[in-house]
Structure 1
Amino acid sequence: MDVPALLEAASLLVPADIATENDITVDDIWDHLAHDEWEVALGLLEELGDVHPLPHDFWESLATAAGQMRLERSAAWCRWRCYESRHGIIRADLTLRRAGEGRRQAAFSGAGVLRPMWSIGNQTSTGGEALDIARLWVEFMPALGPGERSSVRLAPLDPSRWRHLQPGQTITMHEDRTIGGTAVVLEVQGPAATPAP
């Protein structure tokens, strides 16, 4: 499919009655599509996806369209949302240790590249602390460095091991056995409901 067809397919999955904070609706997106304003339409569709849970196919169409437009960060974000539509959302407020206090000495990309280990309360079969892996997406910032704080989204390697998390719970990030950061869970949501055929 080409970009316009992908964006049109995604638009058809958006309920007509939802709107962004700025009162943008799917009708506005159709107007942008009619004028070949694909990048604007893509951005607005991403915003609508933040207002109302949308199915995996919506995010998959947006990821493919963004990739075809060579909008790499947008494509990565939409692929991230594909994952969340299938496995759920985990958001947390993360504070990294300062340089010299932990292993990290420089900032890392916030676009879901880092895959640190997390202490989330699980134990090994012998009763020791188990560390679980989850990719990390930094919200509203392109990168995060030592001593900085931001809300983040987590994509666990094994989502079933993370189902016990609750808002307010404190978890720790590890890039080795030492603590690299501390996070407070903000939100835990299950997977988006799949529409009936």
Structure 2
Amino acid sequence: MDVPELLEAASLLVPEKIATENDITVSDVWEYLAHDEWEVALDLLEELGDVHPLPVGFWENLAIAAERMSLDRSAAWCHWRGFETRHGILRADLTLRTAAGARRHTPISGAGVLRPMWNIGNRTASGEPALDIARLWVEFMPSLEPGGRASVRLAPLDPARWRHLRPGLVITMHEARSVAGTAVVLEVQQPPAAVTA
């Protein structure tokens, strides 16, 4: 499928009654598609996807369309949202250690590239802390500086090991065993069974 077909296929998965805070509906998306304004249509579909849970196919079509338009961050976000549709949403308020207090002296990418280890309370057979891996997406920012604070989304390598997390729990981010930051869990949402197919 080409870009307009991918966007059309995604838009067909959006219920007509769904609207964003700005009253954008799927009818508006069709208007932009009719005028070959694909990037605007993609942006609006992403917004609609945040209003109402949509199936994985919606996010997959948007990701492929974004890749074909060379919109790398948008493609990464749509792939991320597809993962969350399958495995659930995990958000936290992360504070990184300062450059003086940690190994990291450069900002971390906000687009889900970093895969740090996390102490989320799991233990090894000998009782030692077991560190679990999760990719990190910084919300509303392209990167996060050492000492910075931001809302983040986590995509665990093994989601089942993270199911015990609850809002308010404090977890620590590690890079090469040293603590790189501390996060407070904000939201834990299991995937809606109806949209994972």
TM bucket, shorter chain: over 0.9
Structure 1 residue aligned with 2:138: 138
Residue in structure 2 matched with residue 71 of structure 1 by the alignment: 71
How far did residue 101 of structure 1 move? 0.3
Q: Which amino acid aligns with 1:82?
A: G
TM-score, length of structure 2 as denominator length: 0.97
Aligned-partner residue type, residue 113 of structure 1: V
Q: Which residue of 1 aligns with 2:183?
A: 183
Say what the alpha-carbon RMSD is for the aligned residues: 1.2
- Alignment of 1:47 with 2:51, yes or no, is no
Question: SS at 1:131's partner residue?
Answer: strand
CA contact (8 A) 2:118 2:132 kept: yes
- Once the two structures are TM-superposed, the CA of residue 192 in structure 1 deviates from its matched residue by 3.2
What CA distance in whole angstroms lies between the structure 2 residues aligned with 1:185 and 1:16? 34
Aligned residues: 197
Report % sequence identity: 73
Deviations 1:161-197 (A, max 9, x none): 0000001111000002221100001111111333599
Name the residue aligned to 1:12. Answer: 12
User: Could you list the runs of 5+ residues in structure 1 that have no partner in the other structure?
Assistant: none
Q: Give the Cα–Cα distance (whole angstroms) in 1 for the partners of residues 196 and 62 of structure 2.
A: 21
**1:137-176 alignment to 2 at 5 Å?**
137-176=137-176
Write the deviation string for residues 62-87 of structure 1: whole angstroms up to 9, x where unpaired: 00000011101100110111111111
Q: Deviations over 1:122-180 (max 9, x none)?
A: 00011110100000000000001100000000000000000000011110000022211
Paired letter, 2:29: I
Match of 2:116 in 1: 116
Query: Take 1:72 and 1:182, find their aligned partners in 2: how far apart are those partners?
Result: 29
Match of 1:35 in 2: 35
Structure 1 residue runs of 4 or more that deviate by more than 2 Å after TM superposition: 192-197
Matched residue SS, 1:22 = coil
